[in-house]
Structure formats: structure tokens, C-alpha cells
Structure 1
Amino acid sequence: MHRFRISNPFVKTLTILLCSGFLVLAHQGDPKVRDEQPRYEGPGYQQGAFLGKNGPEFQSSGLVMHSWMTLAELGNQTRGNDCWGYTAPSGREYAIMGLRGGTAFVEITNPAQPALIEFIEGPSSSWRDVKTYSHYAYIVTEGGEGIQVVNLANVDQGEALLVNTVTTGGATATHNVAINEESGYLYRTGGSSNGLRIYDLANPAAPEYVGAWSDRYVHDAQIVTYTEGPYAGREIAFACAGFNGGSTQTGLSIVDVTDKQNIQVITHYQFSNPNYSHQGWLSEDRRYFYLNDELDESRTGSTTTTRVIDVSDLENPFEASTFTTGLRAIDHNLYTHQGMIFQANYRSGLRVFETSDPLAPTEIAYFDTYPDNNNPNFNGLWSVYPYFPSGTIIGSDLEKGLFVWRLTTNGCNLKYDQNGDCLITLTDVRLLHEAWLTYCDECTTDVDGSGRVNVRDMVMLVNNIAQ
């Protein structure tokens, strides 16, 4: 188990300005509002460059924190929410984080040295969501204003440019946004309107409103296009939905949205003991849908429980199993990638599960961003994004800001990494030098695999420093 303590081996001054702002109550009486706490005032963290002292101590296993930007460093905000990521054609990587007063764009190509490149203001709200398509980012919020369209074509030059605000499709408030990159359609969910509001991204700078499905309130959704089987060529929405703002008859709605003028419901499925169907994601083979119920922990006293719904037959889904962390924290957002589930669970932080047995995932790593306790309250980690090609993972925390991690067992370039911290630095050079001219068989210090540690290994390692 790793324990990170922020200390102060050298002097660095952070100027932190307190800011105020009004709160748009998109959901009156929402427990997120009742549980709100002041932001953490710093310092943050950069690997190898400690920024201060007396910071919190984080418990973790299998994950290395490379950096952490506080809300003060992210546009001087008072509250965080969702996050997503963008990888430029150059390979450079960017975290996108929703905040109370807008959206921050942060370069994390070197995960130990994040840099804020742009902050785009928006309506004040505790709920903001963003997704990407082509070289554009699309931002929505419960605070209204429709869809903000941000051009990222010149992001490597430090530019994230707001080029459009789309207000077609009725009410301007939106809870979440989903994009099917295979079909090129964007879906607004929730807010002050039921269902899905659908936009064609043929011209990605100017999304065109083309239709809606309004049978039920949709809190969040994943939309995919099937390429084989009985639904080959069909575009299917997996919607966490219900009536009365999603809280009545809450469950999973599976909807055929191929024809935007003739949307067809395949089935409405209600899982066991439902409280609020919040969010979920398909397994990579699309056989299972892993679903978070946001309110079962606080209402029933259960531990963090994820439903595994078999959707191999779209017309007849069923709950195949459940799994739990054994903690009391609320599960919030999860994503699947490379045989793993990455789950943001509020007060118990990031939890990573291995899915070789998809019905009984095994926890292999965690990083707890809320050290005080694992109570079922709405504080701590809101979301996670695990899709960067480098293996970098980001997480957005309500009170603490943006975290940047890598798994110690995955996402590291072990060909060069000598100490298992997922970063190539002078420490790795020193460790290789200590093994100089020794013979070894399949050891990390023998970078080129020649059986002996020599100058070729050193040159290859040095050429990959800070990757």
C-alpha cells in the first residue's frame, strides 16, 4: 500500500484567491447540495516537486499519483464535477474537467507536470459534463446555455476556442452528454427535459438538432452501433432512466435510435431493489452492462454495489450478478477499458477491477481521494477517464480538483521504468547505472535484451526520460 504525504522539502509559494459564486440549484433538495463542503485550499502535488506541506494523506494500492491540481489552480473554482479526455493527432494528451463556473483544459502529456492551457466560462452550476468528437469538445450543464462547442484544432499551441453555442432542441439545461463516435451523433440527456435530444455532428462545429425520445427521463446513457448479430447496423442507446426525474420505475431502457424520426423502445428493464439508476457502461464485448445505482447505499445501508446486467439478448436483459467493494461509499461513474472497470466512488475514490471473470470482477487497485471515511455522502471523486493511449488516468474530485495517475501494473512502459513508478526519470538512470556491466536474464535493467547492461541500455533509457 502506498501512502502519499504532502511535505515541503523546498520553498514554493502558492497564491490562492478565494472566490465566491452563486449555486444554480438544478435539483432542489439534492443531497449533493446538502453534503457540499468547502474546497481544499492546497497545496497540490507534482511527482518529484512537492508544492507545500500539511496536505492530506492518501491511501492507495496499485496506482501512482503523478500530479494533482487543486480547484484554485483550475480557474480558481469552488467545486469540481465531471471529466473527460482528448488526445491530439500529435499524441499529446489533455484532461478536460468540469467546474462550477466553467471548464478547464489541462495538458497532461507529462503526467507529472500538468499545465492549465484554457478555462472556458459557463453558467454557474454543480453539474457540467463534456465529451469529445473529432477535434471538438461539447460541454453541457444544468445551468443552461445549451451546448458549448470548443475547437481543439490548435490545442497543442495552447488554444481551446469556444466557436459555437447551440440552443436548439428546447430547454437549454442538460444533465449529461453522450456521443456515439461510430455514428457521429450527440445525445443530450436529462436537465429540464425528459429523454434524449439528438444532434447530427456531420458539421461538428454546428450540431444539428434532428430528433428526440421523451418517454422517460434519462440521467445518463451510452450509445453504440452494432456491427454483427441480429442488431448489426442498428444504433442502440443504453439509458439509465425512469419517470419523475429518473427516480420512479428507475432502471435500464434499451432503445433503438437508428431512425431519429421513428425511435423504438426495445425494452425497459428494472434491476433488483432499485433506488436510482445513475450511470453504466458496456463490457468491451457488449455482453454485459455494468450499472451504478446512486442511492442504494445511503437509503438501504448496503455496501457499494454494481449490477451486472446481461444484455446479450437486448429484448431479454437480466441481472446476472452483482459485485461490491465491501465499503459504504456511493458508486457514481464507471468505464470499461482493456479488461478492467475504472469506477469513481465518491468517498472511497478510484477503484479498479479486473474482469477476466466478468460476473465477479476483482479489485486490483485503488486510490482514495477522501481520506476521512467511506460514508455514503456526496463528496470526493466524481468521475474518471481511463482512455489515454499512454496509460495515464485522470479523476475529478468535488473538493480537491484534478488527479493524474497511472497503474503500476498496467500503462507503464516497463521496458524503461526501473522502479515501477510509471515515470522515466533520473532515478531510473541511477538504478540502471548501479547494474552497469552486469549480466542478467530478462531483467528491466537490460533494456535492449542483450543479456548485459551496457551503454546501449543507458542511451535507450535516457532517450525516454519523462515519458
Structure 2
Amino acid sequence: MTFAAFPFHAVLIGVVSLGLACSDKPEPHPPPPVEPWDGTYTPLVEPSDWVDRGVFAPCSFTPPVGTPIDCDNPALFDLSKCDTATLDSLDPHGIYQVDMRHDSGVSDFAGFRVPVDGSTGSVNVGYTLPTSLIRQQLKGSFLLSARFTFPTGFLHSVFAGCGVSGPGTVTGCFAQCSGRKFLSSGTFEASRMTWGRGESESSGGLRLVSETHVQTHRPADVFVHRKHAYVMSIDDSATKTPGGLSVVDVSDPTHPVIKKKITIPGDSYWNAAWAKDDALYVASKAKGVIVFDISNPADPVFVRSLPTGAPLNVHTLFVDGNRLYAVSPAPAATGETLIFDISSPLEPVLLNRLVTPDEVSWFPSAHDSFAYQDRLYVNQYATGYVVFDVKDAQNPRQLGRYTFSVDGREPMSHASAVGTFAGKTIAFEGGEGTGAHLRVLDVTDPANIQLIGRYKLRPQTSIHNVILKDTLLYIAYYHEGLRVLDVSNPTQPREVAYFNTYRESDPGRSESILDGAIGIRVPGDGYVYLVDLARGLLILNEL
């Protein structure tokens, strides 16, 4: 599906001339060069992540007034104006992400999975945990229902298809009840998570060099240091499988070798890693920052966990020179960023604990950071993208923030990369969640941050992490795989290559919107190291 609202999304097609004088065909012309950016732009209006595209289907849910109802009653859906015959074209299985629009205009999202073998599938709605499907009919009559149990009762969600609006796309109506009381209804658009827009596996010269299934848990991040890839994994609550660290020798990227796996009982949610000299830093949900000695890169040895005292959840890490920034979403009320001096890499010294004042959000939570030229850019989730002066770690100053609230919808600021273009400081900032995408921000003046560019694919998908390498931006885009953008003109990001990692048939695929390509590094050795939640470590050539 083409997202027409973003005209600067284009694929650069390489042209190879045969150079044969006898050819009857004219020699093709190479694509025109990108004009150098002079730093001028017209600020864009912030549209928010989720854009209300109106009612998705001509159907409705018609519960009887004033009487108890059973939401899981297909007869309560009025599908008389629907082209339900088109549902015969669907496969009886698949993984779908669902954009939900309540009749009140409020947004919601869901994901469901119906296995190929016909066994019981699963679904989640919003931020609920997955639950088993009660109904899972896709072909002919599209009917799905599930019951979510809570301490205070249960929520019953039902989806009824109205018709097929495009390849792999179903529209219809949904209803939600609590007990036998009607709560809400609306329309939906469900997109099957096959490769979007009729794409092939790859474009732009990207090719898979090797693939290593590093885990039985779920890999989330990778850091490459001294010809070793340190792949971090989070625990899998569904299978009760712990996360940990996998050490992979990548001295020959075509034949990676797993050298060691490390798991600590009771401490199995390791989400990020960074290395400096002989030290490897690991972000632990239970123990804060774990320090390993990697003087022997293939054999990390535990040194200590930081900070001392009460347990701390550290989610992401960033090293800039002799500073380590460790971002903690909890237990502090708004989250915090710990600043360490790592002049002695194996002996970090805590300098400060930076807390972002919560001024605008119902869901404050520090998530990630990026340090650049004495500034720290903190992704504060729904509070927004916050900029600090951290030249003096003992006295950081908040310089500004980028946030928005359009029709009550707040940002989910998640990750970023920052660089200098035409003398301006430009941030490439991405959210996480339904509709979340890439924003290009002029942060030269943090007190007056401007939106100058955007890049977005399917509205049901989300990006995760970004890496800026010169004028190329590498994006781990969950279901959309790896996307590479030419950002030499930041106002017009151009997609120049992609590699689709997501396949429904991969063991371990879930119904979550947060599945697919998740972690990425481009260390400058000629390769891209990409982590996919189901496939593990994928190594591709660097463009």
C-alpha cells in the first residue's frame, strides 16, 4: 500500500549500462544527483502519529437498546452494505495488524495471528497481553473474537469483516463489551503483515551475507566491538524463556560463530549493550548497568552492576567519549538518565541522575538518549523529545523539547540520531506504536524545534531504532525490515534501499505490532548488523 501523504518517499533504482555499441536500446541515464541542501526549509505542520482517515467500512454494530447483550453474536453486526464476497479471496491464516477507529473518533490498535495449521490463534488489543481467539474465521466470513480477563472483570472484543479493500487489506467493524454491557464500537482496517507495497526481499544492492539464530529467547539489540557481535536478548513471557547475552565471533561475517551465551537467573531482560575498550556495558531490567570485562572479547567476565543500592531498570545505553548515559524508565516516577564517567572503562563513576520534569504527559517514561556536541537528546516517550545541555554533568540544563498533542494524541518518542547538515543541527527522531514514524527536526535552537521532514510507511507498522552514518540513515522498522534513507537533504528523506526481514512463517512470530527488525549497528567495517526478533542476527553489506 502506498502512503500517498509522503511524496518524498521514493525508491532509488540503480541503472547499469551494458556499454554495447551495437545495442538497439538507448543507454539509460543515471538518476539525477541530489541537489546540495542549503539549509532552508518550510516548517511542516505536525499531523501526529495516528491520522484519522475517517470511517473504514459501511457497516455497524447494532446492539439492542437497554438490554444485556452478547458481543460475540455475529447477528449484531449490520453488514448489508458490505461486499462480503471479496472475503473469499483471503487465506484462512495469517498475521494482521489492525488500525481501529472508535465511533467517537478515538484511535486504538490490535494484532492477531491465525496459525497455518488451524490451531488456536492469539490476539491483543491496545496494550493488553495476548489472549487466545474464541473465533478465528478469516476466509469467507471474517470473524474474530477474544475475551481478555482482568482483576475487575473482562473485556470481550469482536471483529467482523466487511470486505477486502486491497491486497492483504480487510476493512470491517468491531465491538467491545464488559460482561454483558456494551462499551464501544467502530470500524477497522487490518493489514496482513506480508511485505508491503508488493515488494521483493531487497532492493538498492542490499544483500544478506549471513544469518545466525543466536537464541531461544528474543534478541533485541547488538553491539559490534573487536570483531565480535554482542547480541542482547529479552525474556519471552509467553514461553518462559530467559534472555541474556550471545557472543558471536564475526571476524568472518559470512560465517559467524557463537562463542558463548550468558544468562543470569532472575535477571533475564537485557535490552541493550555498548562497549568501550575492555568494558562491555549491558542494560538490565533488574540490575541497572552490568559491567563485563572483555579483554578477551569472546569470553565476557562479570565485574559489577551499577548503581549500588536499590534495584534499577535500565533500558538503553549511549557512550559518548568518556561518558556513559544509562536511561531508566523505572522506578523513578518519570524515569531518569544516569550519567557515568567512564575514563576508567571497567570502573564507571556515577556523576548525576538526570530527571526530566514532567509537564505535559499522562505517561512520562525516559526511554533512550543520544549525545552530540555537549547536548543530550532524551526520548521521554509521551512527554516528548527533550534536549539538555550536559557539558557540566553536575549541572545539566533543559534547553527545550519537541512534543505535540493533536486531538488528544500524544507522541511516543522512542529513539533518535543527530548530526550536522548545512550548518544546522538535525535530529532524526522516531516513535514506537501504531502509526509511529520518522520525524526530521531542526534542533539548532532547542527552544524552537521545527519539524522539517517525515518518512512513513504503512499506518499499522512502527519503527524502532535508527543509525545515522554520514548521509545515510539506517532504520530498523519492525515489520518493514531494514530501510536505508538518503538524508543529504533532510527535508526530503529518500529511500534508497531496503531488506525485508519479516516473514510470517518464521518460528516465534507473534501478533504484536512490535515484531520484526528491532536492533541495528553500522560500525564502519563494511557491514550492517541487524537483529530481528525471530530470526536473530542478520549481517548485510553496508551501502
TM-score when normalising by structure 2: 0.56
Indicate if the aligned counterparts of 2:430 and 2:438 stay in contact, CA closer than 8 A.
yes
Q: Could you tell me how far apart the structure 1 residues matched to 2:131 and 2:350 are?
A: 36
Q: Could you tell me how far apart the structure 2 residues matched to 1:109 and 1:190 are?
A: 35
Q: Could you tell me how far apart the structure 2 residues matched to 1:99 and 1:159 are?
A: 17
Q: 2:403 aligned with 1:270, yes or no?
A: yes
The number of equivalent residue pairs is 328
Shift of 1:166: 2.3
* Cα distance change of structure 1 residues 295 and 326 upon mapping to structure 2, 3 Å threshold: closer
- 3-state SS in 2 of match to 1:150: strand
Equivalent of 1:292 in 407, 410, 430? 430
Indicate if the aligned counterparts of 1:59 and 1:371 stay in contact, CA closer than 8 A.
no
Aligned to 1:455: none
Q: 2:499 aligned with 1:364, yes or no?
A: no
Q: Could you tell me how far apart the structure 2 residues matched to 1:280 and 1:35 are?
A: 33
Q: 2:305 aligned with 1:165, yes or no?
A: yes
Indicate if the aligned counterparts of 1:276 and 1:296 stay in contact, CA closer than 8 A.
no
Q: How does 1:13-24 map to 2 (within 5 A)?
A: none
Aligned to 2:522: 386
* Cα distance change of structure 1 residues 270 and 327 upon mapping to structure 2, 3 Å threshold: closer
Structure 2 letter corresponding to 1:178: F
Aligned to 2:314: 174
Q: Could you tell me how far apart the structure 1 residues matched to 2:131 and 2:336 are?
A: 27
Sequence identity (%)? 22
Q: How does 1:254-333 map to 2 (within 5 A)?
A: 254-271=387-404, 273=406, 274-285=410-421, 287-297=425-435, 305-325=437-457, 328-333=460-465
Aligned to 2:251: 109
Structure 2 letter corresponding to 1:209: L
- 3-state SS in 2 of match to 1:331: coil
Structure 1 letter corresponding to 2:455: F
Equivalent of 1:151 in 286, 293, 303? 293
Structure 2 letter corresponding to 1:83: V
Q: How does 1:409-428 map to 2 (within 5 A)?
A: 410=543
Aligned to 1:222: 370
* Cα distance change of structure 1 residues 368 and 307 upon mapping to structure 2, 3 Å threshold: same
Shift of 1:327: 6.4
Unaligned runs of 5+ in 2: 1-12, 14-124, 133-194, 235-242, 358-364
Shift of 1:207: 1.1
* Cα distance change of structure 1 residues 237 and 64 upon mapping to structure 2, 3 Å threshold: same
Structure 1 letter corresponding to 2:300: A
* Cα distance change of structure 1 residues 343 and 237 upon mapping to structure 2, 3 Å threshold: same
Q: How does 1:397-412 map to 2 (within 5 A)?
A: 397-407=532-542, 410=543
Equivalent of 2:224 in 85, 94, 108? 85
Q: Could you tell me how far apart the structure 1 residues matched to 2:200 and 2:258 are?
A: 24
Equivalent of 1:352 in 467, 484, 495? 484
Summarize deviations over 1:178-210 as a string: whole Å, max 9, x none: 2212x4333333242312111111221121112
Shift of 1:253: 0.5
Indicate if the aligned counterparts of 2:434 and 2:459 stay in contact, CA closer than 8 A.
no
* Cα distance change of structure 1 residues 382 and 306 upon mapping to structure 2, 3 Å threshold: same
> Between Structure 1 and Structure 2, which shows a larger proportion of helix residues?
1
Indicate if the aligned counterparts of 2:316 and 2:368 stay in contact, CA closer than 8 A.
yes
Aligned to 1:140: 283
Q: Could you tell me how far apart the structure 2 residues matched to 1:177 and 1:284 are?
A: 22
- 3-state SS in 1 of match to 2:488: coil
Shift of 1:305: 2.7
* Cα distance change of structure 1 residues 169 and 367 upon mapping to structure 2, 3 Å threshold: farther
* Cα distance change of structure 1 residues 391 and 35 upon mapping to structure 2, 3 Å threshold: farther
Q: 2:201 aligned with 1:65, yes or no?
A: no
Aligned to 1:95: 229
- 3-state SS in 2 of match to 1:360: coil
Q: Which has the higher contact order (CA 8 A, sep 6+)?
A: 2
Shift of 1:32: 9.4
Q: Could you tell me how far apart the structure 2 residues matched to 1:317 and 1:288 are?
A: 10
Shift of 1:401: 0.9
Summarize deviations over 1:362-396 as a string: whole Å, max 9, x none: 11111111134999811111111112x32111111
TM-score when normalising by structure 1: 0.64
Q: What RMSD, in angstroms, separates the aligned Cα atoms of the two structures?
A: 3.0
Summarize deviations over 1:34-88 as a string: whole Å, max 9, x none: 499xxxxxxxxxxxxxxxxxxx998111211111111xxx2x42211122221x2
Summarize deviations over 1:411-434 as a string: whole Å, max 9, x none: xxxxxxxxxxxxxxxxxxxxxxxx
Indicate if the aligned counterparts of 2:428 and 2:439 stay in contact, CA closer than 8 A.
yes
Unaligned runs of 5+ in 1: 2-28, 37-55, 227-234, 298-303, 411-467
Shift of 1:329: 2.0
* Cα distance change of structure 1 residues 272 and 238 upon mapping to structure 2, 3 Å threshold: same
> Between Structure 1 and Structure 2, which shows a larger proportion of strand residues?
2
Q: Could you tell me how far apart the structure 1 residues matched to 2:320 and 2:271 are?
A: 19
- 3-state SS in 2 of match to 1:129: strand
Q: Could you tell me how far apart the structure 1 residues matched to 2:126 and 2:280 are?
A: 28
Q: Could you tell me how far apart the structure 2 residues matched to 1:355 and 1:35 are?
A: 41
Shift of 1:124: 4.7
Which has the higher Rg, Structure 1 or Structure 2? 2
Summarize deviations over 1:237-280 as a string: whole Å, max 9, x none: 10111xxxx33xx3111011222222211112214754311111
Equivalent of 1:197 in 318, 338, 354? 338
Q: Which runs of structure 1 show a deviation greater than 4 angstroms over 4 or more consecutive aligned residues?
A: 29-33, 123-127, 373-376
Q: Could you tell me how far apart the structure 1 residues matched to 2:209 and 2:432 are?
A: 29
Indicate if the aligned counterparts of 1:58 and 1:370 stay in contact, CA closer than 8 A.
no
Structure 1 letter corresponding to 2:430: N
* Cα distance change of structure 1 residues 58 and 383 upon mapping to structure 2, 3 Å threshold: farther
Q: How does 1:223-238 map to 2 (within 5 A)?
A: 223-224=371-372, 226=373, 235-238=374-377
Indicate if the aligned counterparts of 2:327 and 2:338 stay in contact, CA closer than 8 A.
yes
Structure 1 letter corresponding to 2:491: L
Indicate if the aligned counterparts of 2:502 and 2:516 stay in contact, CA closer than 8 A.
yes
Q: Could you tell me how far apart the structure 1 residues matched to 2:309 and 2:323 are?
A: 17
* Cα distance change of structure 1 residues 364 and 289 upon mapping to structure 2, 3 Å threshold: same
Equivalent of 2:325 in 186, 197, 210? 186
Q: Could you tell me how far apart the structure 2 residues matched to 1:391 and 1:377 are?
A: 31
